[in-house]
Every structure is written in structure tokens, then in C-alpha cells.
């Protein structure tokens, strides 16, 4: 079973699509940068609308498989942070775009 953590649910009023696999959903109204690692330490999927995920944070999330972005644009900083963490990561606009893999070379 996957654990999905939404870090800042209060920033998005729209409904999200249901994930078609067994999962445990955890959501927080808001999250400060200092709370990210603690809240996401066991998560395979992290959903963030406005909470930044830095390379330092990603390096501390060994179970992370996918980053979901429910609104806005996926910006280069997330892909760069995945590279800095030196691990495979997925970044996905969960509204419509397919997953993209990024990793450092």
C-alpha cells in the first residue's frame, strides 16, 4: 500500500482525481519547510501545490517515488532538486501530464 501525503491542501479548492490503487491518504492544511521531512518520511507519493521540495529535503526521503503537482506549472527547481538528491524521482502534474523521470548523470 502506498502512502500519499498532501502538504498544503488548503491552497487548492479543486477536487483531485482518485488514485486507482490501494493507498493511505494523509493531508495537511499547510506545511512549513521545516515540517516537510517529518511529514513525508514514509511517503511514496508527495503532493505539493506551493511547498518547495529542495534537494536537501529529497535526499532525506528514501521512499519517495513521485511528486504530484495539482496546480500551476512544474518548474525546473523540482527537477533540479531531484538531480541534486542523486536518485530517480518522478515529477507529475497530476491534473493531466504523464510522468517524467529525471535523474543526475
- Cα within 13 Å of Cα(44), Cβ side: 9
Q: Which domain holds residue 84?
A: 2-102
Q: Please give the Cα distance from 101 to 90 (Å, whole number).
A: 5
Q: Please give the Cα distance from 44 to 61 (Å, whole number).
A: 9
Q: Please give the Cα distance from 17 to 2 (Å, whole number).
A: 16
Domains of the chain: total: 1
Q: What pLDDT, in 10s, does the model give residues 33-75?
A: 999 999 999 999 999 988 988 888 888 999 998 888 887 655 5
Query: Higher pLDDT residue, 82 or 11?
Result: 11
Q: What is the CATH number of the domain that holds 87?
A: 3.40.50.720
Q: 532525506: which residue's cell?
A: 60
Among the residue ranges 2-6, 60-64, 70-74, 87-91, the one predicted with the least confidence is 87-91
Query: Higher pLDDT residue, 104 or 48?
Result: 48
Q: Please give the Cα distance from 53 to 38 (Å, whole number).
A: 13
Amino acid at each position: 500500500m502506498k502512502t500519499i501525503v498532501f502538504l498544503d491542501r488548503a491552497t487548492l479548492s479543486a477536487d483531485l482525481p482518485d488514485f486507482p490503487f490501494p493507498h493511505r491518504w494523509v493531508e495537511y492544511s499547510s506545511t512549513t519547510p521545516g515540517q516537510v521531512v517529518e511529514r513525508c518520511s514514509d511517503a511514496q507519493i508527495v503532493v505539493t501545490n506551493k511547498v518547495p521540495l529542495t534537494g536537501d529535503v529529497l535526499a532525506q526521503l528514501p521512499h519517495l517515488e513521485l511528486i504530484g503537482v495539482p496546480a500551476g506549472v512544474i518548474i525546473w527547481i523540482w527537477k533540479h532538486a531531484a538531480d541534486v538528491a542523486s536518485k530517480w524521482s518522478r515529477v507529475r502534474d497530476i491534473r493531466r501530464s504523464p510522468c517524467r523521470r529525471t535523474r543526475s548523470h
